[in-house]
Structure 1
Amino acid sequence: MENLLLLHGALGAATTLEAIKDKLQGQFNVYTLDFSGHGGRLISPEPFSMTLFSQDILNLMEQEGIEQTHIFGYSMGGYAALTFALQNPERVRSIFTLATKFAWSPEAAAKEAKLLDPEKIELKVPQFAETLRNRHAPQDWKELMHKTAEMMQHLGQKPPLNPQNLPSLHLPVQVAVGDRDSMVGLEETLWAYRLLANARLLVLPDTKHPLELVPVERLVNEILTFTKAAI
C-alpha cells in the first residue's frame, strides 16, 4: 500500500486531521505528525521555520521507515510539504495542498502576524483561546502563537518558495483553494500553479479557509482522485 502523510496548519495539530485520516485508512498507510511545538510537543528555543518543520517531516519518515510518501498539507502544512520536497524530492510521490498561502511579502506577513495576538484573542474569542490551550497542552499556546507570528515575519522577508526554485519541482502537485477563502486568494494559488512544472489546480466551491468547514467526504474524494492519478 502507498504511504500518505497528512500535515496540519499553523496553530493546528495532528488531531485536527483525524477525521480525514480515519476515512483514508485502508486506502493508504496514513501518517500524521505534530510539528515542533504543536499538539503538546516541546517548544524548543529554536525559531519556527520551514527548515525546522521540514526536519520534522524527515525525522518522522526515518523513524517510521518510510522511503517515499504522498503528502496532503493544509495551509502551512502545504507550504512545509513543498519546502520539504524541494530538499528531498526523491522522498515524495505527490503533494496536495489546500488553502496554502503563497503570497508572502513584508506587508502580507505584518498583516497576518498582527492577527496572532494572544491577549486580544483571549479577550475577544475566549472559546478559540480555550481550544488552543487544550490542543497544545502542556505547552503554552501563547508562546506558540508568538513564535508562529515571528515565523510569518521571516517568511515575508525571505519566502522559501519562490519563482527560482518552484519550477525545479517536477513531482505531481495539486494546489487547492476554497472560492470563499478570506485568508488565501485565488491569484496567489494560481501563481504557484503556474510556476510548478507538473501541477493541477482545484477550486472548491462554497468553501472557506477553516479546515473544519471543508466537507470531509468531498476532500477525501479529491485526495483519492489526485493521488491515484499520480501513482
Structure 2
Amino acid sequence: MKFLRTLFAPLLTAAVAVATLLPAASQAQESKPVKSGYLSVNGVNYHYQVHGQGEPLLLLHGGLGQFEMFGPVLTALTKTRQVIGVDLYGHGRTALTERPVSLVDMGDDMAQILKQLGHNQVDVMGYSMGGGVAFRLAVQHPERVRRLVLVSAGYAQDGFFPEMLPMQAQVGAGMADMMKETPMYKSYAAVAPRPQDFPKLLDQMGAFMRKPYDYSEDVKKLQMPVMLVFGDSDMYRPEHIVKFYQLLGGGLKDAGWMRENMAKNRLAILPGFTHYDLFLAPALVPTVLPFLDGKSNTASWAQQVAGQK
C-alpha cells in the first residue's frame, strides 16, 4: 500500500486540487451554460457545454479530470470569451468505448465537434492531456485553430523527469480500489454515464502513457501563434521546455530594442506552481488573454520613450 501511495502520489495530488475546485466550479456555473449536450463523433458520444459570449475559445481539461476543473478560470474567461468545454474521451460525461485513448484520434474528434457546432476557426487552450489534444488538433487541422495555448504539455515522452516514467507505466485498473475515496474518483462517478468503467479508464490511460511519442517534427509545422505555459516546478524538465520554445522559433536570438527579432510565439513560466495546480494559478488568465487577443502586456522600451515625448 505504501508503494502504491508513492507510485500514484502525483495523481492523488491532482485529485486534491480538483476537490478544492469543486465548490468554486459550482459557483462559476450558477448561471448555467448557454448551451450543452452531446455530439456523436467517430463512435464517441462527446459531452460539451458552452459558456459566455465573445470570441470562441475551446478549453480542454487534463487527464482523469473533466471540464469542471476549470471553475475559477472559466469565470475569468467568460467575461470576454465564449468558452466551449468538452469532456474528453472516457472522461466526465463522455463514456468510454472500445477505442483506445489517443491524442491523434481526439485531435480529429475536436475538429468534428467544432464543425458540428458551426465554428470554422477558434482559439484553443488545453491543459496537460488536454494540451496534447489541442496540439494534435492544431497539427492535423490547422485551419480550425487561430491561436493555441498549451498549459503544462510537452511534445515528447522524454520531456518528463525520468522518475515520472515508471510511475506512469504502472497506471492501471489495479489502482481503482485505492482511488475510490479520492475526490478524483468521486467527481468522475458523480457524472460518468457508467461509473463502473473507472478501472477500464485507468487501464486505457496506463496504455496511453506507456506508449512512446515524439512530436518534435510536428511542432515545426505549426504556423498559428502559440503560447507555452509551464510552472517553475513542473513535471517537465526545464531543458525540454526551452527546447519546445526553440522548436517554435523562440529563444534563438535577442529580440532587439524595437522587438524587430521577437518571435511571434510566447513562453510563460509561472512561479510557485507545479503541473498539478497550474490550472488554478490566478495569473493564468491574465497571462494568456492578451496573447489570445493579439495584444502585448507592455509597450517596448522604444515605444514607451516615444510616448513620453
CA distance in 2, matches of 1:126, 1:145: 15
Structure 1 segments, 4+ long, off by >4 Å, are 105-110
Q: Which has the higher contact order (CA 8 A, sep 6+)?
A: 1
Which range moves more in the overlay, 27-36 or 221-230? Answer: 221-230
Sequence identity (%): 26
Aligned residue runs from structure 1 range 12-51, under 5 A: 12-51=65-104
State yes or no: 1:59 paired with 2:125. no
Among 203, 207, 223, the residue aligned to 1:146 = 203
Aligned residue runs from structure 1 range 60-75, under 5 A: 60-75=113-128
Which protein has the larger Cα radius of gyration, Structure 1 or Structure 2? Answer: 2
Deviation at 1:146, TM superposition (A): 1.1
What is residue 276 of structure 2 aligned with on the other side? Answer: 210
What is residue 191 of structure 1 aligned with on the other side? Answer: 243
Alpha-carbon contact 1:175-1:200 (below 8 Å) kept: yes
Q: What number of residue pairs does the alignment pair up?
A: 225
Alpha-carbon contact 1:68-1:92 (below 8 Å) kept: yes
How has the CA–CA distance of structure 1 residues 122 and 82 changed in structure 2, closer, same or farther, with 3 Å as cutoff?
same
State yes or no: 1:78 paired with 2:131. yes
1:119-162 Cα offsets, whole Å, 9 max, x none, are 346437832443443354534222111111111222x1x43x22
Q: Which amino acid aligns with 2:267?
A: L
CA distance in 1, matches of 2:286, 2:220: 27
Decide which structure has greater helix share: 1
Aligned residue runs from structure 1 range 66-145, under 5 A: 66-105=119-158, 110-120=165-175, 122-123=177-178, 126-127=181-182, 128-134=184-190, 136-139=192-195, 140-145=197-202
Deviation at 1:226, TM superposition (A): 1.4
How has the CA–CA distance of structure 1 residues 118 and 87 changed in structure 2, closer, same or farther, with 3 Å as cutoff?
same
State yes or no: 1:10 paired with 2:60. no
Alpha-carbon contact 1:23-1:220 (below 8 Å) kept: yes
Q: TM-score, normalised by structure 2?
A: 0.66
Deviation at 1:33, TM superposition (A): 0.3
CA distance in 2, matches of 1:8, 1:213: 9
CA distance in 2, matches of 1:144, 1:62: 27
CA distance in 2, matches of 1:30, 1:124: 31
Alpha-carbon contact 2:134-2:148 (below 8 Å) kept: yes
State yes or no: 1:225 paired with 2:263. no
Q: Give the match's secondary structure for 2:240.
A: helix
**Where in structure 1 are there 5+ consecutive unaligned residues?**
none
RMSD of aligned Cα (Å): 2.6
Which range moves more in the overlay, 129-138 or 6-15? Answer: 129-138
CA distance in 1, matches of 2:204, 2:106: 13
Q: Which amino acid aligns with 2:73?
A: I
Q: Give the match's secondary structure for 2:274.
A: coil
